[in-house]
Each structure stands twice: as C-alpha cells, then as structure tokens.
Amino acid sequence: MRKAAAIILAISLLAVLTTGCGKKNTAGKTEEELFSFEKNGSVTVTSVESFDQDYYSSAELSDMADSEISAYNASNGNDAVRKKKLAVKDGHAELICVYRTAEDYCRFNEERLYYGTVGGASMSSVDLTPLLGQKELPRGREALTSEDLDRMENDPMIVMFGPARIRTDRRIRYCTGNVQPEDDRNAVISDTASESNPALIILHQ
C-alpha cells in the first residue's frame, strides 16, 4: 500500500518547489503503514514518513493535506475522510486518516483495498481460491473448502494488495500465506502481496 494521497501531494509539491532551488528531496519515504478495520466499516490508516523539516514546512504539509481532504469531502460528503492527526517529530511525519468506508480510501488514494464480505469480494472478481486448503486459526485442523467459502458469503473479509500492518476488532479466522498473524487481531502483510497476489483475510463475524 501507498501513503495517503494528501501526504503524497504535499511532499510532491514541496519537492517541486525546493528541488528547483538546488535542494535534495529526501522526504516522503514510507517507513510504516497501519490499517485498522472497524466493525462499522470504517478504516483508519496511520502512515509514518521520513520528513526533513530543514527543507519542508510541517504547517504547509498540514494545510495541503487539509485542502485535499476538504476537496474530497465536498464531493463525497462530510467526514468521508477525516484527518485525525498530523505530527512531525525527529525527522518523521505521522499522518492518521479515518476513512468512512474502504471505498473512500480507494477513491481518495487511488489505491485498491477491499473490506466487506466474502460474497462481495467474489462478486468484485477477487480470486478466493488461494484460501482453499488453509487451516482455521489459531490451530484448526480442517482445510478450508469451496463449500465452506459458500457458507461464509456474509462473513467479513479484508483484501490487501501490498505490504502493511493490519489491526481489526474482529478475530482473524483464515488467511493466505502472505499474511503473518501476530495474534488473533493483528497481522503483517508481507511484501509479496500485490495486485496479482493479494492478501486474503476472513474474519469471524
């Protein structure tokens, strides 16, 4: 996954302004990204970026982020995206954004993400076959079958298309091999996750 569109735009615009003055652009390297999935369908994304205040103004960064969010909300409804926090400290910028739905995250960032039901993922042309044969967490013995998936059509599911950390308020039930559970609600999506090899996670209801 990429960083939030607001921080991309802010850093990119600041880079254009400063690079032309002979300054080296060292900002904008994503160091960590955490996706928190809530039962109400919202997604909170925490992005930590390298940020050089010698070249860039944190106030300008915040203003640009606010501008992008306001423009999006004007077309998609109040609080479709909300900036919860933007802090700059010790050479890092931390941006926390709350998205009303996964669809708002996708539109705002121009990135793929799915958070819905198993049946909805299948209807969205997500290939669920990599889940077949996986064992139920934490110590299941029976392998997941296509019949099991049919019965789970209303169960919540997350599909990630790149590396990140995830946190959910539901317990993780099944996942593909590119997901490394840390406990029953936290996991790391490996860097092998991609458009062609998405990370698939089924949650308990």
Angle at 185 between CA 47 and CA 201, to 5 degrees: 85
Q: What mean pLDDT do residues 2-31 have?
A: 44
Say if residue 23 is in the same domain as residue 52. Answer: yes
195 lies in the same domain as 121: yes
Which pLDDT belongs to residue 54?
A: 60
The CA-CA-CA angle for residues 28, 34, 36, to 5°, reads 140
Q: 101 and 117 in one domain?
A: no
Q: Does position 6 have pLDDT exceeding 60, yes or no?
A: no
Cα 76 off chain centre by: 19
Domain boundary among the residues 109, 135, 153 is at 109
Q: Are 94 and 9 within one domain?
A: yes
The crossing angle, in degrees rounded to 10, of helices 58-76 and 102-109 is 120
Query: 0.75 cut: is pTM over it?
Result: yes
pLDDT tens digits along 17-61? 333 333 334 444 556 799 999 999 999 999 887 776 666 677 877
Mind listing the pLDDT tens digit for each residue in 157-194? Answer: 999 999 999 999 999 999 999 999 999 999 999 999 99
End-to-end CA distance of the chain: 25
60 sits in which H/E element:
helix 58-76
Domain total in the chain: 2
The range of the structural domain enclosing residue 13 comes to: 5-109
With a CB cutoff of 8 Å and minimum separation 6, the contacts of 93 are 7, 27, 48, 49, 50, 51, 58, 61, 86, 87
Question: What pLDDT score does 20 carry?
Answer: 37
